[in-house]
Chains A and B, each alone.
Chain A
Amino acid sequence: MAIPFDSDNFPIGKAPIAMLILFVISSILLVISIEKKDESLEFWIYANTHYDEYQARLPLFNQLYPEVNVHLVNFGGTMHDKLLTALLSNFGAPDIVEVEINSIGRFLKGAIDEIGFIDLRPLLESKGRIDDLFPNRFTPWSYSGKIYGIPHDLHPVVLLYRDDLFKAVGVDLTKVNTWDEFIISAKKATRDTDGDGNIDQYAIVLDNKTESDYFNFLLQRGGGFFDENGNVIIDSELAIETLTFYNSLFNEHKIATPVYGTWHGHPSNFAAMQDDKILSILAPDWYVGILKSQVPQMAGKWKAIPMPAWEDGGRRTTTRGGTMIGITKQCKNPDLAWELIEFTYFNREGLANRFETTMIIPPIKSAFDVPVFHEPEEYLGGQKIGELFIDLVPDIPPRYQNPYWSEASDLLNDAIFKVVTENEHPRKALTELATTVRKIISKDHTRWGTE
């Protein structure tokens, strides 16, 4: 009996058969690889420092849960775009994901019931964790009464300064309590050191192209772009007055220099610091960590004080940056996902390890007695920086999240640049900005019929 299938006589030859077989095999493999096992967790992150931390600690989690296969993926800055696509297409999203504070807004847009994250409040309550976290720190990750993320951090801000260079002009910054006092001291420290008529040494470095430092001041005063109920408040007297003050640091008192490069972590900015061109900077805990790892040769030159207050006895800190961890609605096993969150976000050893590598203070009250937070930091000349941060924690202002933050911050960047470098009046800039953002929001609500 002849073989029913003869490849030589296959109507269009051998090659197509080979291609067909390869196509079938690869399709099957593709389907198998997409099919997820229940006992696996896909975990997406965007920050390299977090990747190192979790990568080192995942083997310990595997000892506790040998049957669980955690797939940790670091996509870097493009992670948020990939997550957006996966949530929009309802396919391919991770079980657990870390999201950055300036990026979360876009994920909260539109109908509440279509948001891609699960509300973590019930889990936090049933696991008894909700009271262990600072309530103000839920505000960046909450919207319409639901909590979509657990905070990774608190990011209190201090004023990091060059003790040696301020002392050289007879200023002891530890005695400075308010911004008015800071300005007086800063004028002494801002100098033309080589006598060529140009200022070489500025008392403080601030960002004139993005909202970052202006927002530090605004939050410190209890302001913001949006209030608790989502109303635009960037044209409030408080916001206008703060921008007027911010502008005066550059253009009236002339004690501030615009950031070197694109942001405070740019190599040019670090170079300027090493050349003694920058005498102080508003630094969240993570920034101290970056400085320590990127500019180790400056060890011993920096010291920290709480941010000067707006008035005597006023708030001495603000908050800058942040990350949350959330569980997506595509997660098949939220309880298992929670176990991994417990392990990465609440474990005392993990939090101590995180502080040692990144200087980040955790938002967990019960972890504040971990010894590492109370040890002297050599980079800051033996100052107990962890304790300083912890002391400031109760004063950290809320930062209310809003689905329109991406648009709002983009336009706020433009407004700040126009005020600081193109002489636009703060009132005009912020009033126009608020009008534009209100229009965008109201247009959407009209379209959706939610107003």
Chain B
Amino acid sequence: MKKEKIDFDIYEDITENELDELWSMMDSYTVEYPDEEEIDNTINELRQYVPEKEKEEYFIDRFHYLLNKSMIEISFISKPFWIMSFILFIMGLITMYFNKYINPYLLAMVISPLPFTFGLIEIFKSRDKGMMEIEMSCKTSYGEVLLSKLTIIGFYNIVLNTIFSLIISSISNVDFLRLTLIWFAPFTFISGISLWLSMKIKSSYTMTIIVSIWIGMIGTLLNTPYELIERILWMNITIYIGISILGISMSFIQIRSFIRKNISHKGRGLFEVNY
């Protein structure tokens, strides 16, 4: 540490006698210690602020806790979300079954990110509908509610997409692994972007924006020469893996920042006020 330069000139006015007096006074000066009772009271007062030693928590315990919370949330997620997502995949299968010329890879890619985007409305429902303050006053915090919904909707989408891929690969005799990577890449990437946007604006706006952009992009793609579509669908597998990693990272960053902001603070979120 940098030492401060002492300016001895300021002591110029002090005489030798005064200095001696000061020394003798300092020598005889005693610091009065508080009595035992005062010390005990201070310790007891501060005890409540000492953070409790966190129990060693394994991933499986955390997962179990989140799963329990998610089970509660499942019954409160609106039926239209389950039905709409399911119908979307059924329509995809019907289209695939009756139109043999449709590219199964393209179909999986187009459909895969849409149900999660619909699910954003469910995930951010409490914030968008003004229920957040009530939920925050409950034992299960707003952050836990949101994370539980995210888990359920994410899981439901992965299951639906996987079943869809299994059925398609059995109908069209396509490579299951490639098909999985082709839907997984846009699914994770668009989920990441949607989560980022939903943290900033109303989820219904996010859904409208993302779905419009996605459909617009697909529409444009379909109007381009087929070789371009072929090129996208037959890119090197590592590119799909790269996009997936990017999407997962984006989602992970969003979730982590959300947890930091809303859950980690003494185990619960605090209300943010914009005055």
A and B physically associate: no
B residues neighboring A (CB under 8 Å)? none
A residues neighboring B (CB under 8 Å)? none
